[in-house]
Structure 1
Amino acid sequence: MQESFVTIQDLNLKHQQKSVLTDLNWTTNIGDNWVLGGASGSGKTSLAKIIAGLQSGVGNVKINFATNTQLPAEVLFVESWYQFKNLEGVANFYYQQRYTSQQAKDTLTVHAELVAYGKEKHLHFDKVEPILEALNFSAFASSQLIELSSGEHKKLQLIKALWLKPQLLIIDQPYTGLDAASRKNLNTLFDEVAAEGLQLILISNDAELPDSINHFAEIKDGKLIEVDEFNLASHVQQHAREIPDFLKASPVYSSSAIIKMVDVNISYGEKQVLKGINWEVKAGEKWLLQGHNGSGKSTLLSLVNGDHPQSYANELYLFGNRRGSGESIWDIKQHIGLISPEFHWYFDATSTVWQSIASGFYDTVGLFQQLPYSKSAQVDDLVEYFGLTENKNELLSSLPLGKQRLVLLARTIIKNPELLILDEPCQGLDQQQTQHFNHLVDELCSNGMTLIYVGHFESQLPTCLEKRILLEKGEVKVVESLNTKTRRAELQSEIMRSTS
Structure 2
Amino acid sequence: MNLIHYAIVGDDFSVKSKWMHQLLEGNAPSELKELQGKKGLLFSEVLLYEFIAEDYKHGKSELIPNDDRSLRTFSSGEKKKVFLNYLLDQKPDFLVLDNPFDSLDKTSVEELISRLKQISENTGIIQIFNRKEDLLPFIGSVLKLEEGRFKEYNATSFLESKKAADCLEIKAIPPAPEIFQKTPEILVEMKNVSVSYGKNQILNNINWKIKKGDYWQLIGPNGSGKTTLLSMIYGDNPKAFGLELYLFGNKKGSGESVWEIKSKIGYFSPSLIELFTTRNTVMEMLISGLKDSVGLYQIPSDKEARLAKKWLDTLNLGYKSEAIFIELSELHKRIILIARAMIKHPPLLILDEPTTALDDQSAFKMTSLINYIANYSETVVIFVSHRIEKGLQPKAVFRLIPSENGSYGEIISESL
Note whether the superposition's TM-score is higher than 0.5.
Answer: yes
Pairing partner for 2:204 from 269, 275, 288: 275
Q: Which has the higher contact order (CA 8 A, sep 6+)?
A: 2
Question: SS in structure 2 opposite 1:83?
Answer: helix
**Which of 168, 172, 197 is 2:122 aligned to?**
197
Paired position in structure 2 for 1:453: 383
The correspondence for 2:229, drawn from 291, 300, 310, is 300
Q: Does 1:107 align with 2:59?
A: yes
Aligned to 2:357: 428
**2:248 and 2:315 mapped to 1: Cα distance?**
30
Question: Residue 481 of structure 1 corresponds to which residue in structure 2?
Answer: 413
Aligned residue number for residue 358 of structure 1: 287
Alignment-derived partner of residue 402 in structure 2: 472
From 304, 310, 317, the counterpart of 1:375: 304
Task: Compute the displacement of 1:163 (Å).
Answer: 5.3
- 1:99-146 Cα offsets, whole Å, 9 max, x none, are xxxxx583225xx62458xxxxxxxxxxxxxxxxxxxxxxxx542123
Match in the other structure for 2:50: 84
Distance apart, 1:338 and its partner CA: 0.7
Which amino acid in the other structure matches residue 373 of structure 1? Answer: D
Unaligned runs of 5+ in 2: none
From 39, 43, 48, the counterpart of 1:74? 39
In 2: Cα distance, 1:200 partner to 1:253 partner: 56
Q: Which residue of 2 aligns with 1:241?
A: 170
Q: CA deviation at 1:257?
A: 0.6
Distance 1:465 1:48 in 2: 42
Equivalence for 1:144: 70
CA contact under 8 A between 1:237 and 1:432: conserved in structure 2?
A: yes
Assess if the C-alpha contact under 8 Å between 1:357 and 1:410 holds in 2: yes
Cα separation, partners in 2 of 1:153 and 1:374, compared to 1, 3 Å: farther
For residues 152 and 352 of structure 1, the distance between their equivalents in structure 2, rounded to whole angstroms, comes to 36
- How does the TM-score come out when normalised to structure 2? 0.84
User: Take 2:410 and 2:31, find their aligned partners in 1: how far apart are those partners?
Assistant: 52
Distance 2:161 2:16 in 1: 17
In the alignment, which residue of structure 2 is the partner of 1:53?
25
Q: Shift of the alpha carbon at 1:472? A: 1.8
Conservation of the 8 A alpha-carbon contact between 2:364 and 2:391: no
Whichever residue aligns with residue 76 of structure 1, its letter is: L
Instruction: Tell me which residue corresponds to 2:6.
Output: 34
Once the two structures are aligned, what percentage of the paired residues are identical?
28
Deviation at 1:191, TM superposition (A): 1.6
The structure 2 residue matched to 1:258, chosen from 187, 190, 193, is 187
TM-score after normalising by structure 1: 0.71
Deviation for aligned residue 1:388: 4.9
Further displaced range: 344-353 or 251-260: 344-353
Question: 1:328 — aligned with what?
Answer: 257
Which of 168, 177, 192 is the equivalent residue of 2:94? Answer: 168
Contact 2:40/2:96 (<8 A) preserved = yes
1:417 and 2:346 aligned: yes
Q: Which residue identity is paired with 1:416?
A: H
Distance 1:31 1:179, change over 3 A: same
State the Cα distance separating 1:176 from its structure 2 match.
Answer: 1.1
Relative to 1, partners in 2 of residues 1:45 and 1:422: Cα closer, same or farther, differing over 3 Å? same
User: 1:280: how far off?
Assistant: 1.4
Which of residues 92, 100, 104 is equivalent to 1:178? 104
2:57, 2:170 → 1: CA distance? 47
Alpha-carbon spacing, 1:157–1:113, altered in 2? closer, same or farther (3 Å): closer
Task: Classify 1:245/1:313 alpha carbon distance in 2 versus 1 (closer, same or farther; 3 Å).
Answer: same
Q: CA deviation at 1:331?
A: 1.7
Offset from partner CA, 1:206-251 (integer Å, 9 cap, x none): 213332011122112211122332256747736623243337x998
Which amino acid in the other structure matches residue 200 of structure 1? I
5+ residue gaps, structure 1: 1-29, 68-72, 99-103, 117-140, 485-500
1:164 CA displacement: 4.9
1:251-286 deviations in Å (ceiling 9; x for gaps): 877000111112323333443333332221111112
Counterpart residue type for residue 40 of structure 2: V
| Worse-superposed segment, 151-160 or 320-329 | 151-160
Distance 1:276 1:307, change over 3 A: same
Cα deviation digits, residues 77-115 of structure 1 (max 9, x gap): 2223323358xxxx5x8xxxx9xxxxx583225xx6245
Please give the root-mean-square deviation of Cα atoms over the aligned residues, in Å: 3.5
Q: Is the 8 A contact 1:150 1:342 kept in 2?
A: no
What is the alpha-carbon distance in structure 1 between the residues aligned to residue 79 and residue 315 of structure 2? 29
- Whether contact under 8 Å (1:337, 1:419) holds in the other structure is yes
* Helix, strand or coil at the partner of 1:459: coil
SS in structure 1 at match of 2:295? coil
**Does the residue aligned with 1:246 lie in a helix, a strand or coil?**
coil
1:441 deviates by 1.2
Q: What is the distance in 2 between the residues matched to 1:381 and 1:254? A: 25
Change (3 A) 1:231 1:465: farther
Distance 1:307 1:391, change over 3 A: farther
1:107-146 aligned at under 5 Å gives the runs: 107-108=59-60, 113-114=63-64, 141-146=67-72
Change (3 A) 1:199 1:153: same
Cα offset for 1:175? 0.9
Q: Quick one: structure 1 residues 173 and 349, their matched pair in 2 at CA, closer, same or farther if it must change by over 3 Å? A: farther
Task: Call closer, same or farther: CA 1:422–1:444 in 2, change over 3 Å.
Answer: same
